Amino acid sequence: MATSPSRICKGCWQHMHVPIPIRGPLSIPFRMLGIRISHMNPNLCTICETMFTRVKRRKQLTIPATVLFADLRGYTSLAQGTETGEVVGMLNEFYDACAAAVWERDGIVNKFIGDAVLAIFNFPILREDHVRQAVLAGLDLQQRCAEKKRLRVIDAHGETCPVGIGIGIHTGFASIGEVGTAYKDFTIIGSMVNLASRIQGTAQPGEVLVTEEVYRQVSDLCPNAESHAYPLKGIEGPVTAYRLRA
Ligand SMILES: [Zn+2]
């Protein structure tokens, strides 16, 4: 169900109703002005990135969104016992798999933080079903990683097995904010994002762990998902989350 590349920027169209060409001959003059395809999603342009930064400076931009965090499990020990070239190769495979799974569902890959990835759904490309799209991306990412030949490690018994990926997803209201001083970029901030990150830290390899708010909207995808109340660092009271498997 790969979505075909858009000829105009989906973000500029949805937010300003301005068609900014990003592909084809019409995009050439725009590229000469420095307007290019965003590295966060190939259907967005670089105006979107700067525009949202400016919006934020004027007022707080609070939006409903779904956040997905994913990371390579055992990356630290992996990085110590493996050759540098091989580790870089694995990270690249992981990033590629993340980008493909997220972009197909109109999300953006906002940050690559070492061995972890932060993806945002419903911003800047608006989708009413952003919760479902994020969960589908998470399940798809597990599937893609399990199939990648380079994403394999030798376990304690000398057997080759897929490297574990942990994924956490939460939804709610969050703010779009600006981070960095030398290199300005927008990202998503707020308690919702912290909870998503904590949930991801709790996910077992191969799991997509989602909060109750998320599960309520996608229960038909995994009707018998196991739930558990997790105590999470820095968050009051245990949080109920559901384990989804591809
Ligand atoms: Zn744009």
Ligand 1 centroid–CA 19 distance in Å is 9
**Predicted pLDDT at 181:** 57
- Average pLDDT rounded to a whole number, residues 77-95: 80
**Which CATH architecture describes the domain 60-244?**
2-Layer Sandwich (3.30)
Close Cβ partners of 186 (under 8 Å, ≥ 6 residues apart): 49, 52, 53, 56, 110, 176, 177, 178, 179
Q: How confident is the model at residue 4 (pLDDT cuts 50, 70, 90)?
A: confident
**Predicted pLDDT at 1:** 47
- Average pLDDT rounded to a whole number, residues 28-47: 92
Token pair in block for residue 231: 């105590």
**Predicted pLDDT at 149:** 78
Q: How confident is the model at residue 229 (pLDDT cuts 50, 70, 90)?
A: very high
Q: How confident is the model at residue 77 (pLDDT cuts 50, 70, 90)?
A: low
| Range 87-92 contact pairs with CB under 8 angstroms and sequence separation of 24 or more | 89/150, 90/150, 90/151, 90/163, 91/115
* Ranges 51-60, 82-91, 169-178, 234-243: which has the least confidence: 51-60
Ligand 1 centroid–CA 172 distance in Å is 24
Q: How far apart are CA 190 and CA 198, in angstroms?
A: 13
Give the domain ranges of the chain: 10-55, 60-244
Q: Mutual orientation of helices 130-147 and 84-103 as an angle, nearest 10°? A: 150
Ligand 1 centroid–CA 235 distance in Å is 36
Rg (CA), the chain: 19
Between strands 185-189 and 160-162, the pairing is unpaired
Ligand 1 centroid–CA 197 distance in Å is 28
Ligand 1 centroid–CA 105 distance in Å is 17
**Predicted pLDDT at 159:** 75
Ligand 1 centroid–CA 93 distance in Å is 27
Ligand 1 centroid–CA 226 distance in Å is 40
Ligand 1 centroid–CA 177 distance in Å is 17
Ligand 1 centroid–CA 46 distance in Å is 6
